[in-house]
Amino acid sequence: MIIRYHSQVGSSAYHDLRRMLLDDQAADIRGTPTKVTVKGRSYWYDKYRVGNDMRQRYIGPDTDELQERLKKFEKLKQSQDNRRKERTRLVRVLRAEGYASTDQQTGSLLSAFSNAGVFRLGGTLVGTVAFRHYEGELGVALGFDQMAQTGDIDIASFERLSFAIGDAVEKPLTKVFSELKFDPVPSLDSKGIWRWGQTTSEAVVEFLMPAEGKEGIRQLPALGVSARALRHLGYLLEDPIPAVSLYRSGVLVQVPRPERYAIHKLIIAERRKDSLKAMKDRAQADFLIAVLAETRPEELREAYENAMSRGPRWRSQIETSLARMTITAKHIASVTTTS
C-alpha cells in the first residue's frame, strides 16, 4: 500500500481551521460559563437570563482546552468576523492542497445538524462519513475509491450522556429532516423512528447508541430522536475528537478517534452478514492501521490492547479479522511487540 501524505501547509491550514471553529463555538456564549458536576462528571454550561427566567445551554465536557477558551470567550466574540473571513481562506487553501471537499448533499446535512447542536450535545459521526474526516486529522490523502464513498450518515451518542446533560437540540430534528426532504423510514420495531431517508436521493441517516444490555430501540432525549442500540459502540465513542467538514467556510463535527475506529472496524467486519460491507470495513481498518503504525504507534497500541482486554469474544473477532489481513496483522505486531 502506498500512503500519500498532504503537505505541511495543508496540515497547518486544517488544524488552524479546526481551532477557529472551536473558538467560534466558545464565542457563542450568551451569559456566564458555569461548571456543573453530574454523577461525578464535570460539564460546562452557558447560564443566561431570558426575561425573568434563567436558562442554561450545554457547552461541553470539562477539559483543559475548553477551560482556556472559556477564559477568553469575550475576546473571541470580538474577533468572530475576522475568523470567518480567515476560515474561508483556509478552506480555499485546503482545496488547493488536494483535500477532498464535502459534497453538497452531505455538507448541507452536517451543517444543519451542527447548527441544531447535534455534535455539541454529544452526537458523533460513525461509519464512512467519519472515515472521510481522517484525511484532515491524519494529513493523509484518502483518494476517491469505494473505500471512502457512501450515501449514508450514521450518528451515535451515549444514552447516559443524553440524559445527563439536561439540554436538547435548538431546532427539532424532525423539522430539520422535513426541510431537507427526509421522511421517517418505518421499521419492524414500533418503539420509535431511528432511520430517515431522503425522498430526492438514496441518502439515509441513522441514529445509534451503545447497547448496555440488549440491542434494540431506545430514546436519545438530547437529540429528540430514537436510536438503535448496538454492541461495541461504547468503545468506539469513548473520548471523540472534533473534526472539520470542508463545506462552505467549514463545519465543526465530532468523530471517533482514528485508532479506535480502525480496531472497531476489525470487530464489525466479523459481525457483518453482508460480505461487501465487511470487505469495506477491513479496507478502512487496513488503511488506518498502516497510517497509524507509522505516525501514531502508541495510540494504536493502546486502542488495540484496550479492545483485546474486553473479553474473549472481542479478542476472537479481532483475531479472526487479522487472520484474513496478513499485512495489517504485521502492522499491529510492530506496535505491540516489546523490544
pLDDT digit string (tens) for the chain, length 339 residues: 789 999 999 999 999 999 999 999 999 999 999 999 988 889 999 999 988 889 899 999 999 999 999 999 999 999 999 999 999 999 999 999 999 999 999 999 999 999 999 999 999 999 999 999 999 999 999 876 646 666 689 999 998 888 888 889 999 999 999 999 999 998 766 667 899 999 988 899 999 999 977 888 988 999 999 999 998 899 999 999 999 999 999 999 999 999 999 999 999 999 887 788 899 999 999 999 999 999 999 999 999 999 999 999 999 999 999 999 999 999 999 999 864
pLDDT in the model for residue 274: 78
How big, in percent rounded to 5, are the helix, strand and coil portions of the chain? 50, 20, 30
Cut 0.85: pTM above it: yes
Cα distance between residue 224 and residue 237, in whole Å? 19
pLDDT in the model for residue 337: 83
Q: Radius of gyration of the chain from Cα atoms?
A: 20
Cα distance between residue 151 and residue 38, in whole Å? 37
β pairing state of 204-210 and 225-230: parallel
Give me the residue label for grid cell 483518494. Answer: 143
Cα distance between residue 223 and residue 72, in whole Å? 29
Exposure of 286 in the CB half-sphere (CA atoms within 13 A): 18
Bridge partners of 252, per DSSP, are: 244
| 70: nearest Cα among 21, 116, 121, 34 | 34
Cα distance between residue 254 and residue 245, in whole Å? 10
Q: Which three cell numbers stand for residue 69?
A: 477558551
Give the number of residues written for the chain.
339
